[in-house]
Amino acid sequence: MAKTEYKSIRLFKSDFWESFSHINPITPLIFWTPVCVFLLSKSQMNNALSLQENFNVAVVALLVWSLTEYTMHRFLFHYEAKGPMGKRFIYLFHGIHHDDPQDPTRLVFPILPAVLLMIPIFSFFKAVVPDRFLFSFTAYFLMGYLCYDYIHYATHHWPMKGPIGKFLRTYHLKHHHGEKGLRYGVSNPLWDLVFGTYLSPYSKKKQDKR
């Protein structure tokens, strides 16, 4: 039996602009992996870090990524815009995902907006991260982003066996179909716990359908 093509919700009248709203799930890995390798190589050539230093930088960078993931998801992607332009912007960024969460071409972040976001983020890192750690810190931050992207894809399209996988899948799907205003963490629930937006995905609390 022939496999039917997934019918995505159309966002733009123009085929040109519509094409930018879709992405093959493997693309971020192909694009960002060489960037990470380059940054780590550059870091080692300029300021060789010990294994302990690399470990410390990786831990801090991954924590910073996870906080970035949480704050963007909660305060940007779920921002309640008032005007039509703001509502349209939020819908393009994230609202479409809640309307059609199974669309496989809209589960990882498109390259162009990701690059545009990384420009100010890298500028911020350059201002606050010591030069010696800048490139390695940025590489580990991007690795955190890639982990998030593929955990997000997996929660919607992979069985995710094992206790951790099952928990993350259930946790994120309850963000979509459970109580509003909760469970913004995708790769982990750390900052939900810190900021009071955590609720166990196995909670028996009555669900608020959306």
pLDDT tens across the length of the chain (210 residues): 444 567 889 999 999 999 988 999 999 999 999 999 999 999 999 888 999 999 999 999 999 999 999 999 999 999 999 999 999 999 998 999 999 999 999 999 999 889 999 999 999 999 999 999 999 999 999 999 999 999 999 999 998 989 999 999 999 999 999 889 999 999 999 999 999 999 999 987 654 443
Is residue 12 domain-resident?
no
Q: What is the C-alpha separation between 61 and 49, in angstroms, rounded?
A: 15
Is residue 39 domain-resident?
yes
So what's the pLDDT on residue 132?
95
So what's the pLDDT on residue 47?
85
Is residue 33 domain-resident?
yes
So what's the pLDDT on residue 205?
62
Could you tell me if 158 and 150 are in contact, meaning their C-beta atoms sit under 8 angstroms apart? no
Is residue 2 domain-resident?
no
Could you tell me if 128 and 50 are in contact, meaning their C-beta atoms sit under 8 angstroms apart? no
Is residue 206 domain-resident?
no
Task: Identify the H or E element spanning 151.
Answer: helix 131-157
- The tally of domains found in the chain comes to 1
3-state helix, strand, coil in the chain (%, to 5): 65, 0, 35
So what's the pLDDT on residue 93?
86
Q: Domain range spanning residue 69?
A: 23-195
The DSSP letter of residue 128 is H
So what's the pLDDT on residue 6?
76
Is residue 181 domain-resident?
yes
Is residue 32 domain-resident?
yes
Could you tell me if 99 and 210 are in contact, meaning their C-beta atoms sit under 8 angstroms apart? no
Could you tell me if 61 and 137 are in contact, meaning their C-beta atoms sit under 8 angstroms apart? yes
Is residue 132 domain-resident?
yes
